[in-house]
Amino acid sequence: MTAKGAREVAQGKVAHRKAYSAPALEKGLDILELLAREPESIGLKGIADRLGRSVGEIFRMLAVLEQRGFVRLEAGSERYRLSMRLFRLAHWHLPVNRLTSAASGPMRRLALACGQSCHLTMLSGSQAVVLAKHDSFRDRNFSMRIGAESPILTSCSGRIFFALADDFTRETLLSNIALDGDDISCAKQVAALAADIKAKGCLEVASEQVEGITDIGTPVYDHNGEVAAALIIPFLHRLHKDDSVHMKEARTALLAAGREISTALGAP
């Protein structure tokens, strides 16, 4: 089968899967996603109102989710929040577990060496998601929370994934984004970064989300030589230069940490 034929078959399967509907499952997932986004616990009526559902149908779903250990009632109240079960499930997933285990030591040493926080991201859908992080020992530092998502075309980690992906993967990533003319132009520019990232081993860009941060990122490779993750330093520019490791030194330490993690994953 040709590459074009394989793409058409894969795209057809995706379209076929999207035609299915499982209302009960969708309601359960809607509840989990809502609770995951909320910093505080929420009552039954609040959940129903936000999801545009009746109290009765949400109550039944919450009862099952509570029985299965995915949600719990706040002590002394009738308000729900997520339990740690989803977090444990994510870490039971072998690729994630292996990746975070391999990265733990190198990330800790990286944060200590450069006095900056660092985080590890993996591609999920069309977002780069933070899997692990290590904060700087400095009193003032900038860090990303675990589970935070970054856009594929405008973040350092997202650009690494997109630039180093094959053409089919890029098409798939873009198919999940509502694109306009500027986005298409941006995608072409990001794809063109591949050679530079491979030559330098890293990508360095001013953050488009936080002023005063320069993101320095390097790809982490698996045993197949494919990009498994991206290791990022959100470099915080401090006013007192004598209290900060220079960006060049941070870049060198980042590259060493990325290679160490890749080696632990069996990269060639």
Whether residues 139 and 172 share a domain: the answer is yes
CB atoms within 10 A of CB 234: 23
* Structural domain boundaries, residue 188: 93-264
The answer to the question of residue 1 being in a domain is: no
In angstroms, how far is CA 81 from the centroid of its own chain? 22
Domain C-terminal end among 39, 57, 85: 85
- In the predicted model, is pLDDT for residue 3 greater than 50? no
More confident residue, 37 or 233: 233
Whether residues 149 and 242 share a domain: the answer is yes
The pLDDT tens digits of the residues spanning 42-61 come to: 999 999 999 999 999 899 99
The answer to the question of residue 32 being in a domain is: yes
Whether residues 151 and 103 share a domain: the answer is yes
- In the predicted model, is pLDDT for residue 7 greater than 50? no
The answer to the question of residue 52 being in a domain is: yes
Residue by residue, DSSP assigns 111-129 as HHHHSS-EEEEEEETTEEE
Q: Quick one: what percent of the chain has pLDDT higher than 70?
A: 87
Whether residues 255 and 191 share a domain: the answer is yes
Whether residues 71 and 154 share a domain: the answer is no
The pLDDT tens digits of the residues spanning 163-208 come to: 999 998 998 888 877 667 777 889 999 999 999 999 999 999 999 8
What CA–CA distances, in Å, run from 194 to 19, 139, 156, 164, 166? 35, 36, 13, 6, 10
CATH classification at residue 61? 1.10.10.10
Nearest to 134 by CA among 106, 108, 109: 108
The answer to the question of residue 221 being in a domain is: yes
Count of structural domains, the chain: 2
What CA–CA distances, in Å, run from 175 to 15, 59, 183, 187, 227? 11, 35, 12, 12, 20
The answer to the question of residue 56 being in a domain is: yes
Average pLDDT, whole number, for the chain?
86
Please, where are the H alpha helices in 140-212?
156-164, 167-175, 181-191, 194-200
Whether residues 142 and 240 share a domain: the answer is yes
Whether residues 176 and 201 share a domain: the answer is yes
Terminal Cα distance for the chain, rounded = 29
More confident residue, 86 or 173: 173
Q: What is the pTM of this model?
A: 0.68
Whether residues 113 and 235 share a domain: the answer is yes
CB atoms within 10 A of CB 219: 23
The pLDDT tens digits of the residues spanning 104-153 come to: 999 999 999 999 999 999 998 888 999 999 998 887 788 899 989 999 99
Domain C-terminal end among 85, 111, 126: 85
Out of 88-92, 94-98, 122-126, give the one with best mean pLDDT. Answer: 122-126
Whether residues 79 and 115 share a domain: the answer is no
The answer to the question of residue 13 being in a domain is: no
Average pLDDT over residues 68-73: 89
Phi and psi torsions of 7, nearest 5°? -65, -40
pLDDT score of 239: 65
Position 244 confidence tier, pLDDT thresholds 50, 70, 90: low
pLDDT score of 14: 46
pLDDT score of 8: 47
The answer to the question of residue 2 being in a domain is: no
- In the predicted model, is pLDDT for residue 2 greater than 50? no
The answer to the question of residue 11 being in a domain is: no
- In the predicted model, is pLDDT for residue 92 greater than 90? no
pLDDT score of 15: 47
Beta strand pairing status for 118-124 and 127-134? antiparallel
Domain C-terminal end among 62, 85, 108: 85
Whether residues 120 and 149 share a domain: the answer is yes
In angstroms, how far is CA 164 from the centroid of its own chain? 16
pLDDT score of 83: 84
Whether residues 128 and 256 share a domain: the answer is yes
SS3 173: helix
Position 242 confidence tier, pLDDT thresholds 50, 70, 90: low
CATH classification at residue 202? 3.30.450.40
Whether residues 199 and 221 share a domain: the answer is yes
pLDDT score of 93: 60
